[in-house]
Chains A and B, each alone.
Chain A
Amino acid sequence: MIEVADVHKSFGALEVLKGVSMTVQKGEVVSVIGGSGSGKSTLLMCINGLEDIHGGRITVDGVDVHARTTDINKLRRRIGIVFQQWNAFPHLTVQENVMLAPRKVLGKGRDEAAHIASLQLRHVGLADKLDVYPGKLSGGQQQRMAIARALAMSPDYMLFDEVTSALDPQLVGEVLDTLRMLSSEGMTMIVVTHEIGFARDVSHRVAFFRSGRIHEIGPPEQVIGNSREPETAEFLKSVL
């Protein structure tokens, strides 16, 4: 379980998270929607410790993410994150990209890591691209590789930060299909997205972010279909 309790965060004088509280249970898929600059991506970065927080607490399976005594590298093995810009390692082939962390962080042998990598790459539909350099792949393919790379660590939780926003429209579908597949396999996911249709069809809960807080959270039928808050409805009208 991921527990976010009254988290505050500022960038200099600008407060970006103004008291965010949320709990994500094992097996849940939570989508996070909201306008740009509302703090959604920042929240994800805080959950895996890439950003500090200035108030509140985030715990993953009971471990405080920002406590000084926490081994953050060890914690990050349990949380996979995929970014908007896939950040492929350009100097490694697709397979090497995916097997690097299992080898160097989990200490797996080369053959075992290669096997895990090819398994996950087949999982996301890139089985025929193992020896290709990422520079030769399309954005959608590189993004799926990034997903495989995160999955290769066998994480308990997966965070997705607007993973389709940087893609050409025709490539969005293949990535969303991968996410759909993962959710049906029971992966615990927090998905920050602009794809409202996806949020409605795949999530167990949807959180609407506004001005650094969760404005409304609940099942998709409620948040998207029949919003309680007027601002939620207004946002949905502007994007749909």
Chain B
Amino acid sequence: MIETDFSTTDLLFMLHGAGVTLALTFWAVLGGTLLGLVLGLLRAVSPWWINAVLGAVLDVFRSIPLLIQFILANSFKSILGLDISAFEVACVMLALYTSSYCTEIVRAGVLAVPATTRRAARSLGMTWWQDLRYIVFPNALRVSLPTWTGLTLGVLKDTSLVLWIGIVELLRASQVIVTRIQEPLLVLGICGLIYFLMSFPISRLGAHLETRWREYD
């Protein structure tokens, strides 16, 4: 057996960090997707000038490093003297960041539904909302799902940046252990493995749903 100072306690510490990673991902994706749905729909149906303004604002989140967004959010929170934890700040920022991508995904998905199909639905007497719910939504979902899954995986990996504002997620936990026992390859190897294990089910689920929906064609 290999000689190592890596103990079960260390592993549990890393797994706790992984839990924080998953929690952050969950809240960010939940918030980001809901917001993205609203904004994406808004962008798909709005006149050009609302669209342009909304687009420009959201674009800011994609043009500045996420690390700096966290730093600014955290510092702004201190300036305002708000009594919320770094974890909550991270969730909010990450959700906003996710929503900027999600808006594009939703917008593209809605626009991908052919106008002719929607016209057919309306000529049958469906209202605008019914068209949206029964025609646009299912089709847009099928088109958007692979990209959305990719986005979720991206967020999972981006959570590693919150270590800078003091949150102990998986990568920070690994770094702490490495500093103590000086076995970077082993610890980071396990860390990478855990990231793999977390991302794999998500991408498999996405692929599974994609094939299942394709059977409906």
Direct interface between A and B, CB < 8 A: no
Binding site for B on A (CB under 8 A): none
